[in-house]
Structure 1
Amino acid sequence: MSSRMAGATLLRHLGPRLFAAAAEPASGGLAASARGIMLPAAARIFPARMASTDAKQVAAEKPEEAAATEQSDTKNAVASYWGVQPRKLVREDGTEWPWFCFTPWDTYRADTSIDVKKHHEPRTLPDKVAYYAVRSLRVPMDLFFQRRHSSHALLLETVAAVPPMVGGVLLHLRSLRRFEHSGGWIRALMEEAENERMHLMTFLEVTQPRWWERALVVAAQGVFFNAYFVGYLVSPKFAHRFVGYLEEEAVHSYTEYLKDLKAGIIENTPAPAIAIDYWRLPADATLKDVVTVVRADEAHHRDANHYASDIHYQGLKLKEAPAPIGFH
C-alpha cells in the first residue's frame, strides 16, 4: 500500500471523529470553537494522556480520592504484568482466588503413599560417582544447618529447582534442532521445576532467610547451574541419576523434619494459606501436613529421575519412553 493510499485510509477513519464537532455552533469565539473540536477527538486518540491529566486535576481538588485511585492503578499494574488485566478466578466455594503465581487448575492432591526408604543401588561407575557425590554434600549441610529444618528446606529447594529447568531447556533445544518430539519429557521437567519452586514459596511463609543464607544460595546456584548444565550435555544418564540421589536425600531430610515436628521439638504451626490452596489441604492443616506432601513430591521426583536415567542406561532416548504421568 502506498503512503498516499495509507494517508487516505487513515483520514477516512479518523475524519468523522476529528471534525464531527465542527458542525456544532460555537458560543465562545474561535478559541472555544477550536477547543470544542479538538478535545473530544484528542480524548479518543490519546486516552492515556487525557486520563493522566484528569488524574492530576482530581489530585489537586480531592487528595483522598486521588490517593485511592493511584493505589488501585498500582495494584492493577502489579497484577497485570503484560498490561492485560487477568480474569478473576475463584475457589470452589466462590471466594476470590488470591494467588497470581499459580492457578486453580495447577493445584492437586499429593499422593502420599510412597516408599520412604526406596533406594536405587548404584551399579555402574557413573552411578557410584553420582551417589557418593551427593552423599559427600550431605555432611557439610548437616553440620551447617543442624536441626534448622526450615532453613535447610529453603536452600534445598533453591538447588532442587535447577536441574529440571536445565534438562527441560536442553531437551527443548534438541527437539527444535532435530525436528523431533520429546515424549512429553520437556513438559514433565518443567512441571517438576515449577513444583520445586512452589515448595520454596511455601517455606518462605514459614521462615525468612538471613542475609548470609541468601548469599549462600547465590553462590550455590551460580556453581551448581553451570556444573549441571555441562554434566547434562556430557551425560544425561549421569545427570538424572545425580538428581535421583539428590531427591533421596531430600526425602531423608523431610523425614527428619517430620520426626522433630511429631516429637514437639519444632512447633506444629498452622499451614500457610498458599500451601492449603496449592495441595488442596483442609482448612485446619498444619505444618506437619505440608512437610508430608512436600516429601511425597520429592519421592515422585526421585522415582522419575531414576527412571529417566534407566532409559539412557538401556540405550533408549527419552522420546522413545513416555514421561511419567503426574510428575509431581
Structure 2
Amino acid sequence: MQSANATINGKEPDVIHQIPEDLFYLHHPKPVRHEILESKTPLDSKALENIDISPDLHRQPVTWSDKIAFYTVRILRIPTDWFFKKKYIHRAVMLETVAAVPGMVGATIRHLRSLRKLQHDGGWIDHLLHEAENERMHLMTWMRISQPNWWERSLITLVQGGFYNMFFMLYLISPRTAHRVVGYLEEEAIVSYNSFLKEIDNGNLENSKNVPDIAIDYWNLDKNTATLRDVVLAVRADEATHRDTNHHFADRILVGHEDLREDIKRAFEDHDKTKKMAGLTNEAPEKWKWSK
C-alpha cells in the first residue's frame, strides 16, 4: 500500500497547483423556476409573491398506486407534526434532507437502465438531477440559517439513510408510485411553507434580514431587502414546480408515454405561451433531436 507521501519520479506530486483543466469550468447551480432564472433584476418580495404556484392544487388519488402514495405521505406527516410542532426552520431542514433524495435516486436508476438497454432515457435524467440539486440548495440555505446542533445533524443522517434505501427499493418496484409519493410530499411541503409564512406574517417568527449569501445568489434576491420571508417564498415556488413535475412523471408512466422529447418539440412549435410557461429557450428544439 502506498503511503500518503507517495512520490512520482522521486518527487511529491503538486496536487494543489496541478489542477486538470476540466475542473476550472465550475458548475453553478441554477434555479428551477423560469421566473427566477430569466429575471434581469434582483427579485423583491412583491416579485416572489407574484409567482403563480397554485398553492392549493391537489392531485386526487385515483388508482391504488395513487392511494398508497397519498396515504403513506399523510401518515408520515403525523410524527413530523408532533416532533417539530412550530419549529418551522428545523422542520425545513429535515424536509429538505428527505426532498433531496428522490431526484438523485430516480436519475441513478434511469441512468443505469439507459445503459443496460442502450437507449435514450427520454429526457428525464437531467430534470431529476436538477430537482435533486435544487433541493440540496434548499438544504444548504436552511442549514446556514438554523445552524443545527450535533443531535439534529445525527437525526438528519439517520433519516436520510433510511429514506434513501426505502425510496430506492420503491423506485425499483414501482417508479409510478415513487413519483406520486414525491408529488404528494411536495404538496405537504407547500402546506408547511404556507404555515411558515403565516407565522412570519402574524409576528410569531422574526422576519430576519440575515439571509445567507448562498440564498441571495441562487434565487437572485435583492441583497438590500432580502428577508427570511423571501427565502420561504422562493423555496415554496420551487416545491410547486417539483409537485407538478412528479405528478406529471407518474401520469406519463401510467399511460405508457415516457419520452418527453417529441412532446416538448411539439409544444415549442405550436404554443408560444407554453414555451414561456415552461421556461424554455430557443436552443431547446435542437437539444431534443437526440436519437434513442
TM-score of the alignment, normalized to the shorter chain, above 0.5:
yes
Q: 2:248 is matched with which residue?
A: 307
Q: Deviations over 1:194-213 (max 9, x none)?
A: 00000011111211122222
Structure-2 change in CA distance of 1:176 and 1:222 (3 Å): same
Give, in whole Å, the separation in 2 of the partners of 1:87 and 1:47: 28
Give, in whole Å, the separation in 1 of the partners of 2:120 and 2:208: 46
Q: Deviations over 1:8-63 (max 9, x none)?
A: xxxxxxxxxxxxxxxxxxxxxxxxxxxxxxxxxxxxx98976x99xxxxxxxxxxx
| Candidates 89, 95, 120, aligned match of 2:59 | 120
CA contact (8 A) 1:247 1:299 kept: yes
Q: 2:234 is matched with which residue?
A: 293
Q: 2:271 is matched with which residue?
A: none
CA contact (8 A) 1:112 1:293 kept: no
| Candidates 232, 239, 257, aligned match of 2:178 | 239
Which consecutive segments of 4 or more residues in structure 1 shift more than 3 A? Answer: 45-49, 80-88, 103-107, 318-327
CA contact (8 A) 2:31 2:134 kept: no
Q: Superposed, which structure 2 residues align to 1:54-93 within 5 Å?
A: 77=16
Higher RCO (C-alpha under 8 Å, 6+ residues apart)? 2
Structure-2 change in CA distance of 1:175 and 1:203 (3 Å): same
Q: 2:164 is matched with which residue?
A: 225
Give, in whole Å, the separation in 2 of the partners of 1:219 and 1:113: 35
Q: Superposed, which structure 2 residues align to 1:46-195 within 5 Å?
A: 77=16, 102=28, 108=37, 112-195=51-134
| Candidates 259, 267, 273, aligned match of 2:213 | 273
Q: Which amino acid aligns with 1:254?
A: Y
CA contact (8 A) 1:182 1:319 kept: no
What's the CA shift for 1:155?
0.6
Q: TM-score, normalised by structure 2?
A: 0.75
**Percent identity over paired residues:** 46
Structure-2 change in CA distance of 1:232 and 1:82 (3 Å): farther
What's the CA shift for 1:81?
10
Q: Flag the structure with larger Rg.
A: 1
Give, in whole Å, the separation in 2 of the partners of 1:81 and 1:234: 45
CA contact (8 A) 1:161 1:194 kept: yes
Determine helix, strand or coil for the equivalent of 1:143: helix
Give, in whole Å, the separation in 2 of the partners of 1:207 and 1:81: 37
What's the CA shift for 1:326?
5.4
Q: 2:290 is matched with which residue?
A: none
Give, in whole Å, the separation in 2 of the partners of 1:237 and 1:81: 46
Structure-2 change in CA distance of 1:102 and 1:320 (3 Å): closer
Q: 1:26 is matched with which residue?
A: none
Where do 5+ consecutive residues of structure 1 fail to align? 1-44, 53-75, 89-99
Which 10-residue stretch deviates more, 150-159 or 101-110?
A: 101-110
What's the CA shift for 1:86?
6.1
What's the CA shift for 1:216?
1.7
Determine helix, strand or coil for the equivalent of 1:181: coil
Q: TM-score, normalised by structure 1?
A: 0.67
Where do 5+ consecutive residues of structure 2 fail to align? 1-7, 40-47, 265-276, 281-292
Q: Which amino acid aligns with 1:252?
A: V
Give, in whole Å, the separation in 2 of the partners of 1:158 and 1:149: 14
Would you say how many aligned residue pairs link Structure 1 and Structure 2?
Answer: 246
Q: Which amino acid aligns with 1:221?
A: Q
Structure-2 change in CA distance of 1:188 and 1:265 (3 Å): same
Determine helix, strand or coil for the equivalent of 2:145: coil
